[in-house]
Amino acid sequence: MSPLMMYQLVALGLLAIGLYGIVWRKSLVGMLISVELMLNGAGLSIVSASQLTAADSATGQIATLFVMGLAAAEATLVLAIIVVVAKRFKSAETDTVSRLKG
């Protein structure tokens, strides 16, 4: 088993855990945690693919930096949405929010 494959399998594990969590979790914060796990898997996969093959290493690291920046922006926005939802529905649970009654 080559080193690249080992790192890629760990990244795939993170993706699997994130996908499981996004369905399993009942609260919006829990789903946000799962999304962060998946984004980390993506970053790990990109860096390993660029560092451990003949591809340009700098490009892969820059791409992962962009992923981190997007994750930060996404977390900021989701935090604001969660705060608004929690104010209006008095709970951040997905079952409560899915009533669609405003």
Partner 1 sequence: MELMAKIAFVVYTLLVLGGGCFAVGAHSLVRAMVGLITSLLGVAGMYMLMAAPFMAFMQILIYVGAVCILMFFAIMLSRADAHGVESGSRRPGKALLSALAFISPVFVIGWVIVNYQPESISIPLEVPLEVLGKGLLDNYALAFELISVVLLAAMAGAVLLAFDKKGRAAE
Restricted to residues 47-76, the positions that interact with partner 1 (CB under 8 A) are 47-48, 51-54, 57-59, 61-62, 64-66, 68-76
Q: Could you tell me the smallest distance in angstroms from the CB atom of residue 81 to partner 1?
A: 7
97 binds partner 1 (CB under 8 A): no
Q: At what angle do helices 3-24 and 28-51 cross, to 10 degrees?
A: 170
Which CB sits closer to partner 1, 100 or 102? 102
Of 19, 97, 101, 102, the residue at the interface with partner 1 (CB under 8 A) is: 19
